[in-house]
Amino acid sequence: MYDIEKIRKDFPILQQKINGKRNTFLDTAASAQKPQAVIDAVVKMYSQTYANVHRGSYYLSEMATSAYENARRIVKDFINAKSEKEIIFTRSATEGMNLVASSWGLNNLKAGDEVLLSEAEHHGNLVPWQNTCAKTGATLRFFKVNDDGSFDIENFYKLLNPKVKMVAVTGMSNILGTVFPVKEIAHAAHLAGALCLVDACQSIVHTVTDVQDIGCDFMAFSGHKLYAPSGIGCLYGKYDLLCSMAPYQFGGDMIENVTYEKTTFTTPPARFEAGTPAIVQAVGFGVALQYLQAIGMKNIAAHEHELVKYTNERLKEIPELKIIGTAADKGGVFSFALGNIHPQDVAFILDKEGVSVRTGHHCAQPIVNRMGYNSLARASLGLYTNNEDIDCFVNALKKAQTFFKQA
C-alpha cells in the first residue's frame, strides 16, 4: 500500500507554509526535496565519521571510506550494473556527460563521423557534444520528435547509419515528459556500430532502471533529482569502455605513479574521480536510494501514473491552458502556457498561493523553441505529490487567469 501521507511526513520542508499557504511543491523535475533519513545521514556523517577517503590509516578515514564505497555499491545495485567498478561518482549528471564527450569523444571521433541526438535533449547532453564535434570535425545530427512530443521512430532510423558513432538520448524529456524507448534505441545503435549514452536524470526517478537490460554503454544521472543531496551524480559505463578511456580531470587519487617527467593512471572508477570527492553527498546519495527502494520503485511508478491521469483530467477544466507534450504514457512533467499570460507572471501568482513551479526554457531551449515558445511554465510531480497538490495547482491557475483578465 502506498501511504502518501506517511511519505509526505518524511519530508520536513513540506510541513512549512509558503506565503501562509500549504506548501505545494511542483518543481521536483528541477530538484527534489530531501527525506529526513537523508538529512540525518548527512548530519551524522559530518558530526561523527567525517574524514577524507582513501587516504588515511586511521579510524575516521576508514569509516568514511567504507561509507563512501558502500554508497557506490548501493548505486550499482540500484541500476543493476555488473560491478561497482562501473560506477563513477561525479559532481552531476552534466559532468558525467561532459566526461564521456571529452574522454571518449575527443579521442574517438573524427571528421566524417556523426553523433545522433534527439531534438528534446537537455543542454547537459547537447552542448558537450556540440563542443566535441566542433573540435573533432564530427557532425552533430538530431532526430525529430513529433508535434505532440512523441518519439519519431521513422526519423530516428532514417538518420541512424554507419557514420553514427554515438547515440546520446534522454530517457525522459524534462520539457515534454516523453518517455523514450531507450532499450530499442541502444539495440539499434549497436546494430549500426554505434555506442549509446542515456541521460537518465528524469527517467530514473520514476521507474525501475536496469542498465544491463537496457544495454546502454553509458548512463548519467544526478543525485539531487533522486531525493539525495546536491553536488553528487553518477556516470555508469561498461567497464571495458571505461578502461579504454583517458582521464577527464587530473590530480590526486586517480594516479598510479607520478614522476616529474611522467604520470600513469589507475583503473576505473578512481581514474575518473580526481581530487577529494563529494564524500558526504555520496553517502547521502546511497541513503536516498535505499529510501526509494524501501518504498519500491514499482510502487512509486504506479502512484505517479495515477497522479498523471488525475492531473490531466483536472487541467481540462482550464480551456486556455496549453500542455506542451501530450505523448501517450508520458511522465509527470507538465510544461504549459496559459493563454497569453507570460509564464513568469503565472508563476508569480501561483507562488502567492503556495504553489512552486518553474519557468523559462528549463535548460532545453532548442526543444522549447521547436514547440513554438520562448518560455514555458512547468509543473512536475514527485513521490510525495498527492491529489491535493494538484487541486491547489489547478485552483491557483484559475486565480491567475481571473486576475489577468481583470487587470
Report pLDDT digits (tens) over 141-180: 999 999 999 999 999 999 999 999 999 999 999 999 999 9
In angstroms, rounded to a whole number, what is the distance separating the alpha carbons of residues 198 and 206?
A: 15
Angle at which helices 59-79 and 279-295 pack, to 10 degrees? 40
Give Cα 138 to chain centroid, integer Å. Answer: 26
Q: For residues 51-68, b (16+ Cβ closer than 10 Å) or e, as one string?
A: bbbbeeeeeebebbbebb
Backbone phi, then psi, for 66, in 5-degree steps?
A: -60, -45
Question: Which residues on adjacent β-strands are paired with residue 263?
Answer: 258
In angstroms, rounded to a whole number, what is the distance separating the alpha carbons of residues 330 and 172?
A: 8
Q: Give yes or no for a contact between 249 and 230, defined as CB atoms under 8 angstroms apart.
A: no
Residue that is written with C-alpha cell 500549504 in the block: 22
Give Cα 129 to chain centroid, integer Å. Answer: 17
**Residue 262 neighbours by CB under 8 Å, 6+ apart:** none
- Domains delineated in the chain: 4-28+297-406 (3.90.1150.10), 39-293 (3.40.640.10)
In angstroms, rounded to a whole number, what is the distance separating the alpha carbons of residues 273 and 255?
A: 10
Q: Take residue 72 and report the three cell numbers written for it.
A: 557506490
Taking CA 245 as the corner, what is the angle to CA 240 and CA 108, rounded to the nearest 5 degrees? 110
pLDDT score, position 56? 86
In angstroms, rounded to a whole number, what is the distance separating the alpha carbons of residues 275 and 52?
A: 10
User: Within 13 Å and on the Cβ side, how many CA atoms surround 287?
Assistant: 22
pTM passes above 0.95: yes
* DSSP structure string for 198-209: EE-TTHHHHS--
Residues in the chain, pLDDT under 50 = none
Catalytic residues: 363
